[in-house]
Structure 1
Amino acid sequence: MGTDPTPTGLTRPTRAPGGIGVSTLRPDGTLKVTGEFAYSSDMWHEDMLWGQILRSPVAHAEIVSLDVSEALALPGVHAVLTYDDLPTAVRHYGLEIQDTPVLAHGRVRHHGEPVAAVAADHPETARRAAAKIKVEYRELPVVTDEDSATAPGAPVLHPDRADHHSHRVPHPNIVHRQPIVRGDADAAARRADAVVRGEYVFGMQDQAFLGPESGLAVPAEDGGVDLYIATQWLHNDRAQIAPVLGLPEDKVRMTLAGVGGAFGGREDLSMQIHACLLALRTGRPVKIVYNRFESFFGHVHRHPAKLHYEHGATRDGKLTHVRCRIVLDGGAYASSSPAVVGNASSLSVGPYVVDHVDIEALALYTNNPPCGAMRGFGAVQACFAYEAQMDKLAAELGLDPVEFRRLNAMEQGSRLPTGQIVDAPAPVAELLRRVKARPMPPERQWETTEGADIRQLPGGLSNTTHGEDVVRGVGYAVGIKNVGFSEGFDDYSTAKVRLESAGGEAVAVVHTAMAEVGQGGVTVHAQIARTELGVDQVTIHPADTQVGSAGSTSASRQTYMTGGAVRNACALVRERALELGRRRFGSHHPAWATAELRLEDGHVVTEAGEVLASLADVLDDEVIEEEREWRHRPTRSLDPRTGQGDGHLQYSFAAHRAVVEVDTGLGLVKVVELACAQDVGKALNPLSVIGQIQGGTVQGLGIAVMEEIVVDPVTAKVRNPSFTDYLIPTILDTPSLPVDMLELPDANAPYGLRGVGEAPTLSATPAVLAAIRAATGLELNRTPVRPEHLTGTG
């Protein structure tokens, strides 16, 4: 570490850059790449038992009988729990509506629903015991879509909870409904010179995270339990777990274990309650790790959707109106379906100015797998449809699709269909301009001077085509995504920051309950502390419930919310440190009382750069610690009849240009490039921001051409619960992913930042579909596109 002279004769270390705006490396990156990182599934306790869940093999049935005697008699089995063994009257849980039974009672409502839980001294013993539980089912009619859910005489899936939303929905199998009406869409439609309509189908997507659901519950001497868990929201998990256990929340202590990705799939509970129940029943630590098959049943998925749209425009290309109806399949339990409906409806028109709208969005209860949060959260499904409509309407008018979008693009000051004003930069037209202006990738890349590179062909290394029927297509799309929790939710975060001297150097410790699920918050929090406190050494304390809630790692909110909390706590720590310095050294130098002071490079420095003292000397043996909550400005619930209201906090925007090559004879698609332009407000860690954008882009690519959980329409059983049959993009499927970042600060946000992780998932999918349409001339109104859709065989 070098030094430079200071005006006071002290020497100030030249600190390696690591504050905000710098591409610092992740502290866990090397460990994850080398396989040394400890995930929750790697945890071990010397006397632990293994948990196993018995799941329903049918989607809808009455439980006629349940016999666990053979399982209990198996040597090595310590406990078998069913619904009747639960210790309290609270036997349901849920994020917003507590409609999910801890273990099935009376009936099962979806394929894979938990029926019983086993604890044994070996995982194979636990599996064998679960298989010995005898359950007799009497199958019931299944509800799989809107027609079967709302038909006269349809089975009501939650009759005991049908009144919790009856004032807002026309049928008890509808979880939530949100209309949005503004202006007069009927009159505007009569004035339109061109009107286009479309019906779109969006498939069910899995989060496909790396690490399966897993955790370790350890009973404590005080009668409580310590749970080490991979999750997205420690405090909300605890709030759902404690009532079922019959414990106060302070006796359910939770610590975040290593998380192998989440993308919304860990926002709901999976095995948390089961592990705790088994640990408390047996008095032994209990570990549960789902295998990959179980994981497909153990978490929610992205809502599949059917979307009906009508767009109109004048001859010169100005949108007149939008009418749409969005039907989301929420599956057997509510999860976050009400919030997903709110997002889908309020963002259903996209980043365009439309004065006249008539929108309806709703989510159903069905016997399909439960659906909830996934990256993009309702806005993804809507973007797929409205962007297809924008292309269709541009073609009807004979306009360039990008220029048509730019002509109608919202900007700062524009009004959303909900009536809310966009009060921060909204550079939609500029993002589109940038992706269109990019140089095109070379054509026929498989033809190289060294010979054919089959990796560049549709079909890749499978070598199923030689390029005779390959045609290129280019497509564009842009999307709008809200940031943070919406519609009046009390969205806040908490951070505790400690500053002390160690080894002659000032060091900081940042403690939050933020779930690090791969988004890079552990890097950003250290960068904020370095910037605000002027220290080099920052330790990130493990996330747990011994500090206040940080909310969920979702909705692109953690850098905004918990980053804001860290900044505020640091500001209080800084002021206390400066006051301490004034008391200790103020008599030695008048600048302590008269100058503006800051902390920099481990020293107290004036605005002119004069060093007054080292921060370690100021602290001496003092420890300064502050814990503070931080809330953003309030949002409001949308009106249940008109959908009007300031429902959202902030918006993020991303645009994509997709370049694809399609073998029209074989129906194979090669995505050559997915270029993205996105406004990030302020890139606190540019390398991490680019990684988030590229990751979201690839997930959008997946839903465009390969990813779908297939559910049998007759039995409601999942057909493909494995990565053999549920395909996700690999490195061989991943195209070039150039990113163009704008940094237009949002004056309302910490450092002007904007949440970035979700927006690219929205526009990637419709851009790829638009490019395939351009290459083939086909309408392609569903995701994912399969070979049979391109060859006319399906």
Structure 2
Amino acid sequence: MSPLTNGAETRQAGAVGRSAPRPDGTLKVTGQFAYSSDLWLDGTVFATTVRSPHAAARIRSIDVSAALARPGVHAVLTHEDVPGAATYGMKVADQPVLAVDEVRYQGEPVALVAADDAEAARRAAKLVRVEYELLTPVTDPTTALDTGTRGVHPDGNLVRHVKIRHGDMALAREQAEVVVTGEYEVGMQDQAFLGPESGLAVPAEDGGVELYVSSQWLHKDLEQIAPCLGLPPEKVRLTLAGVGGAFGGREDLSVHVHACMLALRLGRPVRMVYNRYESFFGHVHRHPARMRYEHGARRDGTLVYVKAHLLLDGGAYTSTSPVVIANAAYFVAGAYAVPHAEIDGVAVFTNNPPCGAMRGFGAVQSTYGCESNMDELARALGTDPLELRMRNAMTTGTVLPTGQAVDGPAPVRELLASLRDRPLPPAPDGERDLRDLPGGVGNTTDGEGVRRGVGYAVGVKAIGYSGGVDDTSTARVSLTVVGGEPSVSVHTAAAECGQGVTTVQAQIAHTELGVSRVVVLPADTRIGDAGSASASRMTWMSGGAVQGACRAVARELLRRAASATGLSPSALALRDGHVVDRTGAPVATVAALVGDTTVEQTFTYHHRPTQGIDPETGQGDAHIAFAFAAHRAVVDVDVELGLVKVVELATAQDVGRAMNPIAVEGQIEGGNAQGLGLALMEEILVDDQGRVRNPSFTDYLIPTILDVPPMPIEIFEYPHPDSPYGLNGVGEPPTLSSTPAILNALRDATGLALPRTPIRPDDFTSGPPPAPWSHIAVSHAPGEQ
């Protein structure tokens, strides 16, 4: 196994649309895959981070002498040792490389220690003495903007206020015959990826540095790292190391600058690997949210307006909070046609852990609020929740609250109808196996308190970068002859985070060039930017770049074949290593046309232009495409013990084109599992001093195989007109509607309000049960009863 990377990946590539095995699959299941935490070189030293135990404090002094005196310690660095810019950030450079005069959250990096081995570094780190002057932390986002609240940031505690005003709300209120209002809350979720943050920094002979790191966006990392190191970008070279999951948690920097600083200081390779405890402080999390929704409808269930206020806790630094709150606000109305809207989305700074990107990117929170309130509206109307959704379902041409018309497929009714028509799991009959009861064999009842419920939800999210960002991706494709056979190499900076983009790139090359042998080179910054593995965009954007480069290579091959045969290039095609004519008869081999040369093309793919939204009205054509998923959850809940078992979680999702069907199903199953976790168990608990109470997988619970129910999936393929092969984003939509479907099923089973996710056992059992939907205010038009 290579000490640095897993090398180029060679495989017999299948065509687009066929299920293809992952080239890294065998290595991963046999434990041979080199993740970033496995990297090493001779002479490597090990580094760790000294972190603040306080959420808010001024730094009076830092004494590193005792740590430096310890045998085996090579360096201890503080903010005074940062060679370049003191701060970095995804959107705003407001996060210190190492804390200067103040710490703003528990776990903020204060110093770095490098030693002969990881244990020596950790022991030395405990000897770094930091004198703090404690401040009163700002931990309640609802009061962060109040007059008199201490500013977490010099410019105040407002990250961004997004306003969307659409239609005529005065007219809407006159037309609405039933109005339902509800308040909802979403807890802070962790990405809980398999591999903690890690990387290996290697000093280069030219005075620069090479960094092998698990990441989601190599070029954005480079953009932030180089200024902090005081180096030109060409002297900082990044290569993607094995990534053990990401889900948004690797968009921000972690070990990157720290490892490089130490490598440049010492002139030796430096390895940094967080343990699980440190990982909880080393990356951003999903924003906790508090939301107030108001839906107005006619008596027949037709939606008239939505009014919503969203409050997201961004924690101590900006990260991607300005974009997350925008995305949350964009999709307040959900996958429905709503002619009038008044939406306010606010993100604030606090001394809680920094929050940023996580799968679903704000739309998870707003979908939870919308879908919960839709069930409340159905109850107020006396209407079936599924029928209410189908009545108001978005279609092609529906105008969003941002004023943009949906111009691609919007099969919301079709998705819901497929769930409606799917048979329900059989109801329990007779004596039940304890393993089938909520709580499993630990259940101390015979199931007499078990109630079954069914819930539905549907979600919509934009695909790709929005709001006027020029989304691009670059690929280089080379065709050579190796051992007498044509071989294609594909080089992009696309981050393989487990979503399968490596496999898709190989499939595209096989499809476009008719060559079976495809090598996907390691992603690095020697090739142009691929953008982030986020926004469900990577297959679309990097797939488009690879397709474009392959087609340029194909044109050159057909030009050579036409020159040799006298036929028109338009009469020729590539197939199975040959150039064939219109009858399918071979006229030349690809190997002969390439000979001892290399046919190479680089292509940069752009999606169509978008617009930024108007800051006062929120109007604008901000998005390139939309993806949809719907869920039906069947749950059993023991109302006496507060235990829940999800019996089934069925999904219907439009994917445009299933590029690799088995991978598509895997993405949906993974999104469902994370949605289930948010519904029932996953939450980072932060006390009123800003301290994380459960930074471990002992106390932060994630679903296991025993928690994951059967997940029947129906995949719809409505080709998108603007994308390569008609594909659409897949990874994020399952997380949108899986959580509210489960909560709606629990509400159906119990009649309880359950406004907060994740639910807890005492939400079912503490005190006398509230009246059904007691947190909901229902009003009628004047004179109505």
Deviation (angstroms), 1:111: 0.5
Residue in structure 1 matched with residue 56 of structure 2 by the alignment: 60
Of 267, 270, 289, which residue of structure 2 is paired with 1:305? 289
Residue in structure 2 matched with residue 354 of structure 1 by the alignment: 338
Structure 2: state its 5+ residue gaps.
Answer: 1-10, 769-785
Structure 1 residue 675 and structure 2 residue 650: aligned?
yes
Residue in structure 1 matched with residue 274 of structure 2 by the alignment: 290
Of 447, 469, 474, which residue of structure 1 is paired with 2:454? 474
In structure 2, distance between residues paired with 1:444 and 1:293: 42
> Map of 1:576-725 to 2, 5 A cutoff?
576-583=556-563, 585-586=564-565, 590=566, 592-593=567-568, 596-712=571-687, 714-725=688-699
Deviations 1:413-446 (A, max 9, x none): 1110000010011000110111111111122289
Structure 1 residue 30 and structure 2 residue 14: aligned?
no
**Aligned partners of 1:477 and 1:763 also within 8 Å:** yes
Deviations 1:616-645 (A, max 9, x none): 111111211111111100111111000000
Residue in structure 2 matched with residue 739 of structure 1 by the alignment: 713
Amino acid across the alignment from 2:647:
V
**Aligned partners of 1:446 and 1:454 also within 8 Å:** no
Of 470, 482, 505, which residue of structure 2 is paired with 1:502? 482
Residue in structure 2 matched with residue 40 of structure 1 by the alignment: 36
Residue in structure 2 matched with residue 761 of structure 1 by the alignment: 735
Residue in structure 2 matched with residue 487 of structure 1 by the alignment: 467
Deviation (angstroms), 1:342: 1.1
Amino acid across the alignment from 1:654:
A
In structure 2, distance between residues paired with 1:526 and 1:455: 43
Structure 1: state its 5+ residue gaps.
Answer: 1-14, 163-171
TM-score (norm: length of structure 2)? 0.95
Residue in structure 2 matched with residue 9 of structure 1 by the alignment: none
Of 701, 721, 725, which residue of structure 2 is paired with 1:751? 725
Deviation (angstroms), 1:145: 2.3
Structure 1 residue 372 and structure 2 residue 356: aligned?
yes
Deviation (angstroms), 1:718: 0.4
Deviation (angstroms), 1:463: 3.8
In structure 2, distance between residues paired with 1:571 and 1:466: 64
In structure 2, distance between residues paired with 1:733 and 1:254: 38
Deviations 1:312-356 (A, max 9, x none): 100111111110000000000000001101101111110111111
Structure 1 residue 220 and structure 2 residue 220: aligned?
no
> Map of 1:168-183 to 2, 5 A cutoff?
172-183=156-167
In structure 1, distance between residues paired with 2:172 and 2:423: 39
Residue in structure 2 matched with residue 787 of structure 1 by the alignment: 761
In structure 2, distance between residues paired with 1:608 and 1:397: 64
> Map of 1:88-107 to 2, 5 A cutoff?
88=84, 90-107=85-102
**Aligned partners of 1:218 and 1:227 also within 8 Å:** yes
Deviations 1:2-46 (A, max 9, x none): xxxxxxxxxxxxx98811000011011111111111100011111
**Aligned partners of 1:68 and 1:133 also within 8 Å:** yes
Question: What is the alpha-carbon root mean square deviation over aligned residues?
Answer: 1.3
* Secondary structure of residue in 2 paired with 1:127: helix
Of 486, 493, 500, which residue of structure 2 is paired with 1:520? 500
**Aligned partners of 2:462 and 2:623 also within 8 Å:** yes
* Secondary structure of residue in 2 paired with 1:124: helix
* Secondary structure of residue in 2 paired with 1:41: helix
Amino acid across the alignment from 1:786:
R
Residue in structure 2 matched with residue 395 of structure 1 by the alignment: 379
In structure 2, distance between residues paired with 1:258 and 1:62: 38
**Aligned partners of 1:474 and 1:770 also within 8 Å:** yes
**Aligned partners of 1:533 and 1:574 also within 8 Å:** yes
Residue in structure 1 matched with residue 122 of structure 2 by the alignment: 127
Q: Aligned in 2, Cα 1:51/1:593: closer, same or farther, shift over 3 Å?
A: same
**Aligned partners of 2:13 and 2:518 also within 8 Å:** no
Residue in structure 2 matched with residue 330 of structure 1 by the alignment: 314
**Aligned partners of 2:141 and 2:312 also within 8 Å:** no
> Map of 1:76-91 to 2, 5 A cutoff?
76-88=72-84, 90-91=85-86
In structure 1, distance between residues paired with 2:488 and 2:443: 55
Deviations 1:538-594 (A, max 9, x none): 0110111110010000000000000000000000011111112233x22xxx4x237
Deviation (angstroms), 1:122: 1.1
* Secondary structure of residue in 2 paired with 1:302: coil
Amino acid across the alignment from 2:589:
S
**Aligned partners of 2:561 and 2:569 also within 8 Å:** no
Q: Aligned in 2, Cα 1:495/1:772: closer, same or farther, shift over 3 Å?
A: same
More divergent stretch after superposition (545-554 vs 574-583): 574-583
Residue in structure 1 matched with residue 776 of structure 2 by the alignment: none
In structure 1, distance between residues paired with 2:141 and 2:617: 23
Of 46, 53, 64, which residue of structure 2 is paired with 1:50? 46
In structure 1, distance between residues paired with 2:570 and 2:748: 64
**Aligned partners of 1:53 and 1:115 also within 8 Å:** yes
Deviations 1:646-680 (A, max 9, x none): 11111000000000001110000000110000011
In structure 1, distance between residues paired with 2:327 and 2:527: 30
In structure 1, distance between residues paired with 2:767 and 2:597: 75
**Aligned partners of 1:492 and 1:632 also within 8 Å:** yes
In structure 1, distance between residues paired with 2:438 and 2:517: 49
Deviation (angstroms), 1:146: 3.1
Residue in structure 1 matched with residue 773 of structure 2 by the alignment: none
* Secondary structure of residue in 2 paired with 1:331: coil
Of 14, 18, 27, which residue of structure 2 is paired with 1:18? 14
Amino acid across the alignment from 2:599:
I
**Aligned partners of 1:445 and 1:453 also within 8 Å:** no
In structure 2, distance between residues paired with 1:456 and 1:220: 59
* Secondary structure of residue in 2 paired with 1:87: coil
In structure 2, distance between residues paired with 1:16 and 1:706: 41
**Aligned partners of 2:13 and 2:506 also within 8 Å:** no
Amino acid across the alignment from 1:599:
L
Q: Aligned in 2, Cα 1:499/1:775: closer, same or farther, shift over 3 Å?
A: same
Q: Aligned in 2, Cα 1:540/1:373: closer, same or farther, shift over 3 Å?
A: same
**Aligned partners of 1:460 and 1:732 also within 8 Å:** no
**Aligned partners of 1:27 and 1:523 also within 8 Å:** yes
> Map of 1:133-532 to 2, 5 A cutoff?
133-159=128-154, 162=155, 172-444=156-428, 447=431, 453-532=433-512
* Secondary structure of residue in 1 paired with 2:42: coil
In structure 1, distance between residues paired with 2:680 and 2:256: 34
Deviation (angstroms), 1:193: 1.1
In structure 2, distance between residues paired with 1:357 and 1:506: 57
In structure 2, distance between residues paired with 1:185 and 1:717: 42
In structure 1, distance between residues paired with 2:584 and 2:430: 58
Residue in structure 1 matched with residue 113 of structure 2 by the alignment: 118
Deviations 1:74-107 (A, max 9, x none): 111111110111112x110000011000001111
Deviation (angstroms), 1:723: 0.4
**Aligned partners of 2:290 and 2:310 also within 8 Å:** yes
Deviation (angstroms), 1:261: 0.2
In structure 1, distance between residues paired with 2:143 and 2:430: 49
In structure 1, distance between residues paired with 2:444 and 2:273: 39
Deviations 1:248-281 (A, max 9, x none): 1111010010000000000000110000000001
Amino acid across the alignment from 1:358:
E
Residue in structure 2 matched with residue 12 of structure 1 by the alignment: none
Paired positions, count: 758
Residue in structure 1 matched with residue 533 of structure 2 by the alignment: 553
In structure 1, distance between residues paired with 2:69 and 2:171: 73
**Aligned partners of 1:595 and 1:607 also within 8 Å:** no
Q: Calculate percent identity across the aligned residue pairs.
A: 59
